[in-house]
């Protein structure tokens, strides 16, 4: 049995949906269980609608809801013939009417809690799963939609809910096994779950990949296939490096290092259930299905020079807390991290040199105001006394990381990386390497990001190295 997850672009247009139906039909012998995202852009739109509703913008909300209705209805009309069409139009009408009611409530209350954001966000997948299932039936493939809220049970940390695996696994087996055994292909809503009191939750943005891994682990799938719109994990972002190549095989650990670094291939949590049950994950391109893609498993093929891929994160800034008073103040790091944690800030990278003179945090641009305000308040006494000199933000930076299992214990990786940059007078602003040695991350000026990625890619000969199968 195989779990196949199709992302937003794969279910985003009539042509893409036809392609999905072809792919699933051709894989019937593998007993696929399908997980889908919302049609591309729909989750963003739903969130914008919710925000608009809380501002009381009724006309705008109504207009956007009608756009969603039209997009789904026209897709239904283009893909389904009479009988399936009637049923699916009814489903779209029912769901969009429900969405309308929820939004009306938000408009009246002018209040938007994370719990309500999750309810509104859930409509995208609740629309796409029955749609994909109907498209499969239309092609003669027996299929039934499945609402993951019936099985994926979570806590109530809305927008980033944590899964209760014991409960979820047994419910998934109970809910899906009969259909699979009967040769029917379930099409499951990605991204969503529910609390023990059946309140709708979501597992985090982009988390349909995670849903696929949760389902795969519960059903003991042979493989989890993530169908997306790129050929696989690559040696670098192909928009930056034209010679970037697809990596045929990477390890779970390498994949984890890459997804944390914004490689955008997989939701970071996807690896956890897969690793636990040693289920290989395959990344495949819906729009180029004949290419093999990337296989993520326990095995890896190391590249001759140790580094396998160069990843980068943009739209970040560097917050520096500095002052000679930091030296020998053991509680400072704890206070810094407590402050960022309280504001649920995602720390992308942080460093402190052994002089203890400053602590640098790399965070998303959009979180910088919040973080600086919070740190200024936390350390106001130290700033008044002068034991802290300043808390500053450096915008317009980017993080670049070199990743590879082969880096572990291999001397010279940092030398080759920084040597290549030094030779081209690229300045390194901050550096971090964990003791797992799988990843060296560093900060450069955003203006030099592209050149940095290209230089490092070529320094490790990633355009020609044999990181593919032997
Ligand atoms: N539709 C959700 C999102 O846009 C989940 C996903 O696409 O994986 O975040
Ligand atoms: Mg995604």
The answer on pLDDT for 218 being more than 50 is: yes
Same domain for 328 and 215, yes or no, is no
In a domain, 284, yes or no: no
54 assigned to some structural domain: yes
Q: Do residue 7 and residue 155 come from a single domain?
A: yes
Instruction: Tell me whether residue 255 is in a domain.
Output: no
CA of 38 to the centre of ligand 1 (A): 6
Could you tell me the CATH number of the domain that includes residue 58? 3.40.1160.10
State whether 197 and 325 are in the same domain. Answer: no
pLDDT tens track for 331-375: 888 999 999 999 989 898 999 887 778 899 999 999 999 999 999
Q: What angle do CA 235, 350, 358 make, to 5 degrees?
A: 140
Give the count of domains, the chain: 2
∠ at Cα 423 (419, 428), nearest 5°?
65
pLDDT band at 263 (very low <50, low <70, confident <90, very high): low
CATH of residue 398's domain is 3.30.2130.10
Residues 203 and 328 in one domain: no
Task: Count Cα atoms within 13 angstroms, Cβ side, for 28.
Answer: 15
208 pLDDT higher than 90 = yes
| Claim to verify: residue 50 and residue 179 sit in the same structural domain | yes
Residues contacting residue 393 through CB under 8 Å, at least 6 positions apart: 317, 318, 319, 320, 368, 372
The answer to the question of residue 254 being in a domain is no
Query: Does residue 54 line the site of ligand 1, with CB under 6 A?
Result: no
Residue 50 domain-assigned?
A: yes
Question: Ligand 1 within 6 A of 8 CB?
Answer: yes
d(CA 327, CA 135): 64
- Say if residue 337 is in the same domain as residue 433: yes
- Work out the pLDDT band at 262, boundaries 50, 70, 90: low
119 and 223 together in one domain: yes
Say what the pLDDT of residue 470 is. 34
Which of 205, 229, 253 lies at the terminal end of a domain, its last residue? 229
Residue 285 has, within 13 A of its CA and on its CB side, a CA count of 15
| Number of the ligand closest to the Cα of 43 | 1
Within a domain: 303: no
Taking a C-beta distance cutoff of 8 angstroms, is the pair 130, 188 a contact? no
Residue 239 lies inside a defined structural domain of this protein: no
Please tell me the distance from the alpha carbon of residue 275 to that of residue 270, in angstroms, as a whole number. 9
Is residue 276 in some structural domain?
Answer: no
329 and 420 fall within a common domain: yes
Contact assessment for residue 225 and residue 26, using Cβ atoms and an 8 Å cutoff: no
The pLDDT value given to residue 466: 57
* Among 199, 229, 259, residue at a domain's last position: 229
Ligand nearest, relative to CA of residue 127: 1
- How far apart, in Å, do the first and last CA atoms of the chain sit? 27
- The answer to whether residues 196 and 324 belong to one domain is no
Query: Closest Cα to residue 57, out of 123, 104, 112?
Result: 104
| SS3 labels along 220-236 | CCCEEEEEECCCCCECC
**Could you tell me if 137 and 91 are in contact, meaning their C-beta atoms sit under 8 angstroms apart?**
no
Q: Do residues 122 and 212 share a domain?
A: yes
Whether 468 has a pLDDT exceeding 90, the answer reads no
| pLDDT of amino acid 469 | 42
Q: Is the CB of 207 under 6 A from ligand 1?
A: yes
* Dihedral of alpha carbons 418, 420, 423, 426, sign: negative
If you measure from the C-alpha of residue 56 to the centroid of ligand 1, how many angstroms do you get, rounded to a whole number? Answer: 26
Q: How confident is the model at residue 257 (pLDDT cuts 50, 70, 90)?
A: confident
Q: Is 117 in the pocket of ligand 1 (CB under 6 A)?
A: no
DSSP 8-state symbol, 399: E
Residue 199 and residue 344 in one domain? no
Q: By three-state DSSP, how is residue 279 classified?
A: coil
* Last residue of one domain, picked from the residues 195, 229, 263: 229
C-beta 208 within 6 A of ligand 1? yes
pLDDT of residue 264 exceeding 90, the answer is no
Centroid of ligand 1 to alpha carbon of 207 (angstroms) = 6
Domain of residue 356 covers 309-459
């Amino acid at each position: 049995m195989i779990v196949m997850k199709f992302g937003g672009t794969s279910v985003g247009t009539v042509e893409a949906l036809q392609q999905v139906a072809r792919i699933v039909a051709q894989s019937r012998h593998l007993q696929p269980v399908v997980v889908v995202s919302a049609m591309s852009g729909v989750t963003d739109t739903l969130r914008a609608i919710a925000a608009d509703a809380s501002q009381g913008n009724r006309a705008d909300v109504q207009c956007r809801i009608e756009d969603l209705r039209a997009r789904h209805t026209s897709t239904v009309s283009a893909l389904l013939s009479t009988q399936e069409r009637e049923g699916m139009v009814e489903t779209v009408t029912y769901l969009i009417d429900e969405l309308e009611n929820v939004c009306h409530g938000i408009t009246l209350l002018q209040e938007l809690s994370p719990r309500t954001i999750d309810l509104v966000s859930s409509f995208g997948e609740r629309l796409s799963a029955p749609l994909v299932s109907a498209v499969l039936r239309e092609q003669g493939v027996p299929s039934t939609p499945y609402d993951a809220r019936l099985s994926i049970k979570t806590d109530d940390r809305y927008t980033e809910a944590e899964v209760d695996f014991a409960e979820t696994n047994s419910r998934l087996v109970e809910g899906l096994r009969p259909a699979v055994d009967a040769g029917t292909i379930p099409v499951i809503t990605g991204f969503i779950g529910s609390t023990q009191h059946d309140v709708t939750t979501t597992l985090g943005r982009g988390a349909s990949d995670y849903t696929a891994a949760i389902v795969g682990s519960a059903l003991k799938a042979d493989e989890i296939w993530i169908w997306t719109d790129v050929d696989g994990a690559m040696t670098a972002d192909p928009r930056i490096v034209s010679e970037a190549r697809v990596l045929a095989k990477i390890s779970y650990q390498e994949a984890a290092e890459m997804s944390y670094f914004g490689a955008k291939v997989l939701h970071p949590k996807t690896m956890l259930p897969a690793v636990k049950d040693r289920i290989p994950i395959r990344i495949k391109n819906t729009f180029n299905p004949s290419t093999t893609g990337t296989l993520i498993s326990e095995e890896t093929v190391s590249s001759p020079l140790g580094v396998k891929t160069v990843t980068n994160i943009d739209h970040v800034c560097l917050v520096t807390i500095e002052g000679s008073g930091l030296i020998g103040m053991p509680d400072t790091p704890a206070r810094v991290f407590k402050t960022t944690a309280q504001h649920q800030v995602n720390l992308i990278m942080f460093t402190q040199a052994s002089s203890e003179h400053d602590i640098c945090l790399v965070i998303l641009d959009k979180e910088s105001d919040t973080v600086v305000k919070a740190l200024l308040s936390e350390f106001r006494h130290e700033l008044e006394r002068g034991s802290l000199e300043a808390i500053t933000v450096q915008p317009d930076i980017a993080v670049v990381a070199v990743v590879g299992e082969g880096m572990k214990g291999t001397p010279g990786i940092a030398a080759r990386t920084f040597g290549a940059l030094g030779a081209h007078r690229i300045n390194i602003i901050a550096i971090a390497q964990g003791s797992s040695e799988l990843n060296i991350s560093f900060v450069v000026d955003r203006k030099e990001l592209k050149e940095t990625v290209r230089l490092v890619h070529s320094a490790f000969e990633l355009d020609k190295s044999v990181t593919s199968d032997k």
